[in-house]
Each structure stands twice: as structure tokens, then as C-alpha cells.
A and B are shown apart, each in its own frame.
Chain A
Amino acid sequence: MIEVKIDGQRVAVAAGTTILAAARRLGLEIPTLCHHEALEPFGACRLCLVALDEGGRQSIVAACNYPLERSGLSVETGTPAVWQARKMSLKLLLARCPGVKVLQDLARQWRVDTADLLLTGDGEEECILCGLCVRVCREVIGKNAISFVYRGAERKVSTPFDAETDLCLGCAACAYLCPTGAIKVREEAGRLLIDRWHSDLEQALCSECGRPVVPAELLVQMREKAAEEGVPGEELLCLRCRRMRAAAAATALPVPQYGPADSFPARRSSREEPDVNQARKGK
């Protein structure tokens, strides 16, 4: 364990803990856009900048990826210089993506506007290049279906050769983590579409109601993984049917008898539920 100071408060953390993690432990809030607990730090958005003092040597570093390695370090999370740098990062991102709500909200809160910048986007660009999508696909899903391509101002996230790729399973973890809503997932005629990645995927259907539930290839791979881990495969149910069935099973359990059985009318109505589904299927 090492001891460091953040905003004057002493905190003991394991060596290698990032400034961000240590600060959060103290309940201090540091803004981030490209950070996620489940992913490796990336250090790209530069909103989490803090002032670091290493025994007299001062610098501004990103809290999300700066590991505290020794005792005696001192961090300030809200100096004027820190705020100036953070505000500029936000201002630059807002100029790139003026239509993105999370940036607009922060800008209102921090009193940042882009009026004095010469280049401001037309609002169409929604990607702030935080890389959460790229990292979740690589680090968690293990697919690497998307990556950064080009460099500098041209940089963007894309599939290989900007074409449809069979690496994309349609898990939509990218869309789930995207802080700006730039990745849109939609269903059309029973298929799952992620236009940004040119993905157009066949879906497996709910064995109960026949509605599309999950991309077919994703299901195959999930079942393989489950089998490897000794989890028995189950029949595929949509969320709704799964709930119905769970509810039905729960209510079918022997119930302590406090009176006549017909004093529980709710039970009957639960059992009727599958019929509703049958009706939907027929639609």
C-alpha cells in the first residue's frame, strides 16, 4: 500500500491504482467520457485531467490512466489550470459534435461555448472517438470487429475496409457503451441492423412466441461458450416469454395452505398468460 494526497485528503491505495480510482474512493468526482471500469484505460478524451505534484515536479496528467506508484505524490483535481485544460478539451469535442447531448449538458454546466472557434461541426458527427466501442469489442467480446482507421482529423472507427464483416456478431455492446448514441441498433423485418458497421444479421427466434430475440451467430457462440463452461443449453426465449415462464413456474410452486385453494384467484390469471402470447404469435 502507498499513501498519496488528493485534494488535501490522504488516501492509502495499492501501488498501481489510477488517480481516478483513488479519487473515486474518496468520493471525489472527476469527469470522464472515454473511461469504463471494465476496460483498459485509454486516456483519449482528456476530460479527466488533474494536476500532479511529484515532489516539486508539476504536470497535468490524465487521471484515468495515471497509476500511482509511490507514496508522497500529491494530486489536485480542480486547480484553475486543470479546469482550463478540461474546458478546452470539452470545447474542442463540442465543436466537433455540437449535436451530442452529453457534451451539451456538460458545456452548460461548465459554461463552455464554441462561439470563438472557427471550425464547428454541422451536428451530423456524433462520434467523439472515445474508443469505448473499439475496446469493448476487443477486450470483452474478443472479436475486434471494429477498429480505429486513418489518423489525425481523419480518424474514425470502422470495420475492416469499411465493409460488412462476419466478425460482428451483433451483440451491440458497442452501442450499449457509446456515450453519445452514435451507434444505432435497429430491427427491421426480423433482422438486426447496425448501419454504422454495415451489419445486417439474421436473428434466432423465440421458441415460444416466435419473435426475433438475438442474432443467430451470437447465439451459436454463446451456447458454445456456455457448453465449455458446463452450463446446459436452454431453449431460446425472448425476455417477455422468459418472464412469463418464470412467473408461471413460481406461482405453480406449492403454496402454504392458509385457507381454501380458490381464495387465490391471482394464480388462475397467471396461468392464462401464455394464451396472450399465443395470440401475439398469430398476429
Chain B
Amino acid sequence: MASIEFVNVTKEFEKKEIIKDLNLRIEDGKFTVLVGPSGCGKTTLLRMIAGIGPQTSGSVLLNGKDISNIAPGKRGVAMVFQNYAIYPTMSVRENIEFGLKNNKVNKIERKKLVESISEAVGLSEYLGRKPSTLSGGQRQRVALARAMVKQPSVFLMDEPLSNLDAKLRAQMRIDLIELHKKLGTTFVYVTHDQVEAMSMADTIVLMNQGLIQQEAPPEEIYHEPNNIFVAQFIGTPPMNIGELGVDGVRFGFRPESVTASTEPVESPFTLQGEVTTREMLGSETLYQIRYKETSFMIKSLIDKFSVNQKIHIGVNSDKLYFFADDGDRIHKDHIHYRDYFEALRGY
């Protein structure tokens, strides 16, 4: 059990600042997901917690104690690497118990731990095998078991699912949620995949270019994005953004919050456009609608619109978002909010 805190942390790689003066608190026992595009510094943060890529300045606190000078192996953290980093020359059993041996855990205890953990992740039959004879999913579980067996207070995971196929990934997501519930320890999970972030996180920390864009539970990130970057990063397809034409303000709405019809619709924001592409996804259908010079994506349960058809779309007022020229969100209590809203009617 442990909380983690970053205090004024800066990280440079060859004189280039990747992270500058970052402050973040990761709560005890929560499943926190660091998400963002590649190069945003999320893995860098994770490696700071592990101690394998220390910060240039600032401090990292574990349970309020500065751990900057504590060796990685003595921090009580365990990490699952993207490429698993299993010791290739050791058997599955040796891999799992290597850390225990280093920590001088006695033989009986070791045997008990290895067996119960490998039972839990379904590796019992493979304990004598070499990693090279295992499938990707099994290797993933070896990496997980190796982390679990140390009974760490913090689990660090660096894109652990990115090397798995789609089906296995979906299964592992559920397994990880269950694992977190069972262990109740702090999980810090790094991914660039917003679906993983949304599905597993208690708290999402969305980063871009070394800065935290928003730190909130998935629902809040989705419904109340802080800025255009967050709004467009979460959701597939991303939020539609259009120029309002007033003060450089932009408006946005999600493809799935659109009402579409062949008849005119009653909404604060409506327009009539032409379907240019159609993607049938099964339960939903994606349309690209051309309107004047721009185009918008919409996601609809109705699959009967066809390409080149003119349709009406409308968005309700609570599903409309406004962003200032610097990308930050304009909230309802902003003094000009009503003006922008009115301006949209004339769009």
C-alpha cells in the first residue's frame, strides 16, 4: 500500500527537457493510468517511480518519503515491461523466484509463493519451461507473476498489453481489473491506448509534451474535458471541432452525441450536410458529413443513410463544448458563454 507523489520533477535527456516542473499525486490503492501520445513523458514518469531512470531534479515521494536515493530493488515496487524483459536463460520458475532468492526468502516460503502465484495466473504447468517455448500471452503472465510474487506495494506497468493480439488484450484488461480488485495495491499503468485507459482506470492522467493535461476519473475526462487536446484524445472517432468565427473560439461535439435524421431536427445546433463516407461497424454506423468547407464525423444507430444523401443533424446544448483560442475549455459560467452559444445558432 503506498501513495506516490511527484514534487517539481524535471527530466532532461541530452539537454532536452522532456518533463518540466511536474507535480502529481497518485493515490494509494487506486488504478491510475498515465496516457498520452508517444513521447509525452508517461514512461519517463513510470521509470522514475521504479528508480531506473531517475529525475534530473525534484523529488519522488513514496508514502511521503523521498525515495530518490533508494535503489530500485529496495523500493517495494514491481514493474511489468512492454517487452516483458523475462530472463531468457532461466526457466519460468527461476524467473518468478529470482527476486525472492535475491531477497533471501527461504526455500519453503519461496516454493509456496511461486506455486500459489503461478496457480493464480495459470502457469503451473509451465514452471519448468524456458520462456522461448511460451506464447506471447504466457510470457506476459510470467512477467506478471514475477511482479506479483514480490508482493510489492506499487505495481508499475509499461504498456504491458501492446504486444498481444486484440482478443487476448481484451481478456487481459478484465484480468488486470480483477487483479487490482483482489490485491488492492496501487497500480500505475502506462499506455497510449485510450481504450485501455478508459476501461481500467480509477484515475486517468492524460499527458502531452511533458505536461499533465487533465487528471480525473474516466467519466469526467470523457464528459468534461479540460481542453481540446483531451477532448480529441479520448473517444473514437475524436470529438468534432469547428471554428466558431468569434474571438478565435472553437466549438466541439462528440460524434456519438448527434441526432441524425432525414427530416429537420429540433436542436440548438443543427445543420444539413451530405454524407461523404459510410462505415458500417455493426451496432453503429460512422458517417462523414460534409458541411460547407468542413466535415464532421457522426456515429449513429441508424444505418440506412447512404453516401451522397442529404441529412439533418442536431446536437443538444449539454453536449456542446466551447474552447478558447489557446485550446482551454470555456465553461458554462464564463461571461461570454451565452454569446458563443448564440453565435453557434447562426453557424
Do A and B pair up? The answer is no
A residues adjacent to B (C-beta < 8 A): none
B-side residues, CB < 8 A to A, are none
